[in-house]
Chains A and B, each alone.
Chain A
Amino acid sequence: MGAPHGHKLHFHGHSWLHRLPAHVKLVALVAFMLTVVATPRDWYPVFAGYFLMLVALVAISHVPPTYLAKRMVVEVPFVVFAALLPFVATGPQVEVLGLSLSEQGLLGAWGLLVKGTLGVLASLLLAATTEPGALLAGLERLRMPPLLVQIMGFMIRYLDVVTDELRRMHVARESRGFSARDPRQWPVIAKSAGVLFIRSYERGERVHLAMLSRGYDGRMPR
């Protein structure tokens, strides 16, 4: 259960990192994260190095650190999970503040936290410095199948339209005195989901017809 989505993470800017082609940034992100994941978790100085590298990149990008910090909330679910690890993992126990914790679990929680946090920070930086359109072009250059690029393009284009529709339905429900407290209200919310599907699907059909009338033949013009 992730944190709420719905705001664009892009931070407008003209830094060197902003101007770098998206496919280069994507490949760099994947390579960096694979390296991080493969690094043994007790190589503490190496993780400090990774972190400093990201901090340097943030500084170059001119994205305010507070902007990124606010968006780090997506990592809350796995921080909770990491906090539980020392209590459930097996192996030799250590005494910390009067609590008996698993040594393996503590190390595991550290590994999960540091790798996960590096991942979230690196992904946020990519999202903050790359516009969705550039990202699509980058994925296309990296040979992602064209149909998948098109689907993703439509999704990004209509993301705000559909989520706004959902918000209007929410406002309409609330303004009629509806308030969701427990499962007795599920039928109403599920009906909203049903209506949203019908509206989205019909919008898709209209978009398709509009594209056909402009000469669409299964490929996107450049």
Chain B
Amino acid sequence: MHVPDGFLDAPTSVATGVVAAVGIGLALRGARRELDDRTAPLAGLVATFIFATQMLNFPIGAGTSGHLIGGALAAVLVGPATALLCMSVVFLVQCLLFADGGITALGTNIFLMGIVTVVVGWAVFRGLQMVLPQRVSSVPAAAAGAALVSVPVAALAFVGLYAVGGTVDIPLAGLTAAMLSVHALIGLGEAAITFLAVGSIVAVRPDLVYGARRVLATRSLVLRTAGR
């Protein structure tokens, strides 16, 4: 859920806004490296994809459903810098055109669900890639790990922000426990769906997956002759 106006006090909102602005500034440079002059149309379409994916509901049972945050998924699919730009634009559009998430909490939302999930997701993904066998088939597993870790870390970051700039005193131990247990579950769902989605993309167009490029580059052509 998006942080609304008035949830965190003004200094914290402004501080996260500055962090988000710096993060976007760095990502603007990085995205040029990942996509060169294709940045604008491709990042725009990927942002639209992320927005649409957040509308895709996954049934949990008993009539309830959830949806992806998509930070780790985006980082694996298009690279961390482009992913950060896409996530930021998604939150900006949701805030300005759909009134979802407060305008003063925009920096907070970009920081928590954009920067934290993308950076943590990408770091975990690269870490797992070094450990797992260098095969295309291990890309979805690494992506799942990234999604699994990124969600509870974002929840922890929220608790940290709340401890600094929360407007209501809630016992922090209780808040931490509640946020972590709920988001560990959400993380499991995010991991399962990220695994399945990345798996289906890698099976059809592995060349589109940024996180698979390193593995694809080392793959050599194997000739199999029939009948032998």
Contacts and interface: CB of A to CB of B under 8 A. Distances in A.
A150 B99 contact: no
* Size category of the binding interface on chain B: 35 or more
Given A33-B103, A201-B208, A155 B6 contact: no
A167 to B, nearest CB: 9
Interface stretch (B148-156, B192-200, B215-223): B192-200
Interface stretch (A12-20, A93-101, A177-185): A177-185
A147 B49 contact: no
A201 B89 CA distance: 17
A9 B93 CA distance: 12
Contact of A135 (B41, B45, B97): B97
B61 interface: yes
B43 A9 contact: no
Given A116-B5, A150-B40, A127 B104 contact: no
Given A89-B170, A151-B47, A155-B89, A78 B100 contact: no
B6 A119 contact: yes
Contact of B47 (A8, A116, A147, A155): A155
Contacts of B98: 2, 5, 9, 74, 127
A133 to B, nearest CB: 12
A63 interface: no
A205 to B, nearest CB: 7
Nearest to A158: B48
B28 A197 contact: no
Contacts of A148: 24, 28, 85, 88-89
A200 B4 contact: no
A221 to B, nearest CB: 13
The listed residue with most A CB atoms (<10 A of its CB), out of B9, B52, B170, is B52
Question: Range of interface residues on chain A?
Answer: 35 or more
A1 B41 contact: no
Given A88-B170, A145-B28, A150-B40, A193 B47 contact: no
Contacts, number: 281
A56 B41 CA distance: 40
17 contacts: A2-B100, A9-B98, A85-B168, A107-B168, A111-B168, A112-B4, A116-B102, A145-B28, A151-B39, A151-B89, A152-B47, A163-B52, A181-B61, A185-B59, A193-B56, A197-B201, A204-B44
Given A36-B6, A90-B171, A198-B204, 18 more contacts: A2-B101, A90-B169, A90-B170, A119-B6, A120-B102, A147-B28, A154-B40, A155-B48, A162-B51, A166-B52, A180-B58, A186-B192, A190-B199, A196-B53, A197-B49, A197-B201, A197-B208, A200-B48
Interface of A: 1-6, 8-9, 26, 29-30, 33-34, 36-38, 41, 71, 74-75, 77-78, 81, 85, 88-91, 104-105, 107-109, 111-112, 114-116, 118-120, 122-124, 126-127, 132, 135, 145, 147-148, 150-159, 161-163, 165-166, 180-183, 185-187, 189-198, 200-201, 203-205, 207-208, 211, 216-218, 220
Interface of B: 1-2, 4-7, 9-10, 13, 24-25, 28, 31, 37-49, 51-61, 65-68, 77, 85-86, 88-90, 92-104, 167-171, 174, 192-193, 195-201, 204-205, 208
